[in-house]
Amino acid sequence: MGLIKEIDYGTPQAKSEKQVTLTIDGFAVTVPEGTSVMRAAMEAGIKVPKLCATDMVDAFGSCRLCLIEIEGRNGTPSSCTTPVAEGLVVRTQTERLKTLRKGVMELYISDHPLDCLTCAANGDCELQDMAGAVGLRDVRYGYEGDNHVSAKSRDGGNDNFRWMPKDESNPYFTYDPSKCIVCSRCVRACEEVQGTFALTIEGRGFDSRVSPGMHEDFLSSDCVSCGACVQACPTATLTEKSVIEIGQPEHSVVTTCAYCGVGCSFKAEMRGDELVRMVPWKDGKANRGHSCVKGRFAWGYATHQDRILNPMIREKISDPWREVTWDEAFAHVASEFKRIQSQYGRGSVGGITSSRCTNEETYLVQKLVRQGFGNNNVDTCARVCHSPTGYGLGQTFGTSAGTQDFDSVEHTDVAIVIGANPAAGHPVFASRLKKRLRQGAKLIVIDPRRTETVRAPHVEAAYHLALQPGTNVAVITSLAHVIVTEGLFDEAFIREKCDWSEFEDYAQFVADPSHSPEATEAYTGVPADALRGAARLYARGVNGSIYYGLGVTEHSQGSTTVMAIANLAMLTGNIGRPGVGVNPLRGQNNVQGSCDMGSFPHELPGYRHISGDAARETFEMLWGVKLDHEPGLRIPNMLDAAVQGSFKGIYIQGEDILQSDPDTKHVSAGLAAMECVVVQDLFLNETANYAHVFLPGSTFLEKDGTFTNAERRINRVRKVMAPRNGYADWEVTQGIAQAMEIDWNYTHPSQIMDEIAATTPSFARVSYALLEELGSVQWPCNEQAPNGTPVMHVDGFVRGKGKFIRTEYIPTDEKTGPRFPLLLTTGRILSQYNVGAQTRRTENVVWHAEDVLEIHPHDAEQRGIREGDWVRLASRAGETALRATITDRVAPGVVYTTFHHPETQANVITTDYSDWATNCPEYKVTAVQVSPSNGPSDWQVEYDALSRRSRRIVPRDAAE
């Protein structure tokens, strides 16, 4: 185990299919046309000295170190900017080149501090490496002249006006201008890789400096702290604070980020079992070497003092917690669940799998419920996010997942983003999308709010359809109306891949004048001409793709909207090749995987309905029990049943339903009505306020397993440190099973994956050995697709013929009125993740310390609300208070907030209305009133007191 050193080829890979052969230092090299001489040399194993070139950004040619000589050409061109050509004869090392390079390095070093021994980049400094590479032995110019190095002039103590102090404003990295060589790699990384354009070079010549924004500090600039600049920096100018504190890492392990559904691959760079830094892995197929602030920097929660490391029990939720041994905890859970089932029936208990845990762990939780509890009362957080995706795409296409890989975006010509704000929720995908948009692809955004995705530097949506919350189905059906009535549909595709008579029925339905944009404008608020323009743009684009998020699913018609989206893609033939498709942006790291693993109460792993005898028998044979053929309770149904008295015990792994689920008061009433609530988590989360047993969880750094991202990509999670709580999460579930006298004896998660592969046709060929070999794989991965499936439905749909389904718009019952005249919609912010349990325990709070309410200036003025005022936010479900910010990002009549902080509890406001098909809650539409307030509501004060009371712990020693 050593440090994984990825080869830096200097310039990006050329994608041409034409090969070119040239000679470098006497060796013949064959590379794709468009490759730089520098990269071709590196492919041949010859490392041309370089400073301003790195393969994450385009060639720039400024450092003049990578000079070469080419036979028959004048001068000494830079190898990074010189493309290869057939028959070129290149020399990288001649007397002339050696002299020139030494001269260049001499100048660089004459304006650079010589504190190498105490420098944070010591051991990882390209400037130092290059000084060595060119054989620099002397700096003839001395160090006394003009410089950027020292605060005072060398002679007398006058201030050196060229010197700039270190900028330590960013919590994760420092900017030390005295060490900067102005190679502009950071500036280019910010532009080309991240797409934020927060950095620039100010001044000219010797005055040139890297500057965040208009000579601001990093924190007050537009910087989103993705860290691409830090990764690009060849010196200690931009350095992770963790490296400054700890020192250079000595070994690294490739693993997968545990934040959003993009599923970025990282190298966890370690010193012993201390994590030094996370560096995105270039070969990671989801992220291609990029990251966001959460994945790269926000891992401090893993060692946060709030982590609970010992199991705990209490009789009543009003008691303080009592620390116990693991064995006591397992025995207690087993006996309680047995008692409850014998008293109240087999269906009186259930479990919730975690979309933050691994596939293997979610598989075990559903197995415990089905095999051990003998019912199907298992659900997962996808219930409240993408369950309509599963249902809608299952009905239309035949699979419950996105159709593409993320690389597909590089081939798209028109992207529609619906009800998603990738810049905040899926930042690495957003960067990849923006890169494509800067190359000329067009963007259509359908969102009530003017999100960061609508307009960013050098990117602007061709159309932003700012619809009224809750009118998705009307808008998308209207898009289909335009495509059908204007004859823009792809008849050949539909005839070949879909059921033609179903299409005819659907076409007749959408062609009705009631679905025309002119008719829907009245209630959607989307101008008819903009909607027609957007429909034409999407239908006429060569490759049209649709990306969508929870703004689609979290509605009473969420499933209908997903079907409408699928209809749109089939209508225009945008399925089955790179650059197109229907792409749900999944929220949590493993929400796709948890769905795949049979976490829903109606289906077994691989989306096989529980009523199917064949699928049930597969598991019955293996597990040696009879499985219940009836669907189980979904999370909201469990809570209803609890309030009604027939559901009494629940095992919740890594999920904070009290904070994340709607209508908090209903959730707490349900939890309070249960006799045994078991919570397994890193922290005493909000749900744990109502728990009787707390089982400490482990982080993604502490266990082996796999996550499946939004592209259906199964990525390895690798253990880099021992679980601080003693057990990985899969071992905890196994502990409960064993205490219930179920015969489980897994010794490694790979054995669980083997069981999944043996029972689930779409995973048939998946194994840890295959993942080791291929890096990652996208399901289906079986005999038909031995290396996985990057793009689905290539030769026809999984269900056979694509199915067009009528999508009638039915307005939600959640309506504004005199008492609640505004519509509240919710979302997320870049720096925080989900309920914030992890990110609130990191320095990310500097960007977002509390949830705020966005309100339009018109609505604010009517109510006498000023910027930063406390406001009371009330719906028919409840009320809370938070601070307001006044912005025209939201339309008049619409207010918006995030749900990252338990102090705000935005879900006290949201109602129990839900999607007709899946009971996915209608988070995105709540009728509310906003009024001035003095501070937190009574409910918030009481809840805060309850939280404090329910977090009292009596240590084991004290109890004895």
- Check binding of 342 to other proteins (CB under 8 A): yes
Round to whole Å and give the CA distance between 68 and 533.
52
Longest Cα pair distance anywhere in the chain, in angstroms?
92
Q: How many CB atoms lie within 10 A of CB 372?
A: 23
Q: Locate tokens 């290396």: which residue?
A: 787
State yes or no: residue 630 binds other proteins (CB under 8 A).
yes
Asked if residue 601 binds other proteins (CB under 8 A), the reply is: yes
Q: How far is the CB of 481 from other proteins (least distance, A)?
A: 15
CA angle 369, 318, 948 (to 5 degrees): 100
Q: Which of residues 806-825 bind other proteins (CB under 8 A)?
A: 806, 808, 810
The answer to the question of residue 265 lying near other proteins (CB under 8 A) is: no
CB of 748 to other proteins, least distance (A): 29
Rounded to an integer, what distance in angstroms lies between the CA atom of residue 126 and that of residue 236?
10
Distances (CA, A) of 370 to 124, 359, 604, 907: 52, 16, 9, 31
Structure tokens at 926: 């709540």
Q: How far is CA 906 from the centre of its chain?
A: 22
Name the residue nearer to other proteins (CB basis): 505 or 850: 505
Q: Residue 632 interacts with other proteins (CB under 8 A)?
A: yes
How near is the Cβ of 402 to other proteins at its closest, in Å?
Answer: 22
* Alpha carbons 832 and 844: distance in angstroms, whole number: 7
Helix, strand, or coil (residue 709): coil
How many angstroms separate the CA atoms of 691 and 342, rounded?
21
191 three-class SS: helix
Specify the amino acid at residue 783: E
Q: Which two tokens stand for residue 413?
A: 């010509």
Binding residue (CB under 8 A) for other proteins from 77, 300, 631, 857: 631
Stretch that binds other proteins, among 340-348, 449-457, 743-751, 944-952 (CB under 8 A): 340-348
Binding mask 64-103 for other proteins (x = CB under 8 A): ----------------------------------------
Number of residues that bind other proteins (CB under 8 A): 41
**Residue of 644, 751, 784, 862 that binds other proteins (CB under 8 A):** 644
Q: Which of 114, 625, 794, 849 binds other proteins (CB under 8 A)?
A: 625
With CB under 8 A as the contact rule, the residue among 523, 847, 916, 939 that binds other proteins is 916
Among 556, 588, 778, 844, binds other proteins (CB under 8 A): 556
| CA–CA dist 785, 763 (Å, integer) | 10
Asked if 560 interacts with other proteins (CB under 8 A), we say yes
Q: Which of 645, 786, 892, 955 binds other proteins (CB under 8 A)?
A: 645
**Closest to 419 (Cα-Cα) out of 913, 916, 896:** 896
Select from 169-177, 444-452, 682-690, 909-917 the region that touches other proteins (CB under 8 A): 909-917
Cα–Cα distance, 109 to 146 (Å, whole number): 13
Q: Would you count residue 919 as binding other proteins (CB under 8 A)?
A: yes
Q: Is residue 553 close enough to count as binding other proteins by CB under 8 A?
A: no
Q: Omega before 32 cis (within 30°)?
A: no
Element (H, E) at 769: helix 768-774
| Strand order, beta sheet including 274-280 | 251-256, 265-271, 274-280
Q: Which of 23, 646, 767, 885 binds other proteins (CB under 8 A)?
A: 646
Task: Tell me the window of 107-115, 179-187, 635-643, 699-707 that interacts with other proteins (CB under 8 A).
Answer: 635-643
Interface of this chain with other proteins, residues 787 to 806, rule: CB under 8 A: 806
345 to 364, contacts with other proteins by CB under 8 A? 345-347
Is the separation of the CB atoms in 506 and 567 below 8 Å? yes
Instruction: For residues 720 and 704, give the distance between their C-alpha atoms in angstroms, rounded to a whole number.
Output: 9
Nearer Cβ to other proteins (106/640): 640
Q: Does 609 bind other proteins (CB under 8 A)?
A: yes
The binder of other proteins chosen from 917, 920, 925, 928 (CB under 8 A): 917
Rule CB under 8 A: say whether 626 interacts with other proteins. Answer: yes
912 binds other proteins (CB under 8 A): yes
The DSSP code sequence of 122-160 is TTS-HHHHHHHHTT----TT-S-SS-SS-SB-TTT--B-
Q: How far is the CB of 806 from other proteins (least distance, A)?
A: 5
Nearer to other proteins, 356 or 555 (CB): 555
Nearer to other proteins, 511 or 794 (CB): 511
> Taking the complex as a whole, how short is the minimal distance between the CB of residue 657 and other proteins, in angstroms?
18
Counting contacts by CB under 8 A, is residue 380 touching other proteins? no
Applying CB under 8 A, the span of 203-211, 225-233, 555-563, 587-595 interacting with other proteins comes to: 555-563
* CA nearest neighbour of 289 among 250, 231, 230: 231
Instruction: Label residues 785-802 b or e (16+ Cβ within 10 Å = b).
Output: beebbbbbbeeebbeebb
| Nearer of residues 377 and 380 to other proteins, judged by Cβ | 377
User: Going by DSSP bridges, is the β-strand pair 776-778/274-280 parallel, antiparallel, or unpaired?
Assistant: unpaired
| Positions that interact with other proteins (CB under 8 A) | 341-342, 344-347, 373-374, 376-377, 509, 556, 559-560, 601-602, 609, 611, 625-626, 630-634, 637, 640-641, 643-646, 806, 808, 810, 912, 914, 916-919
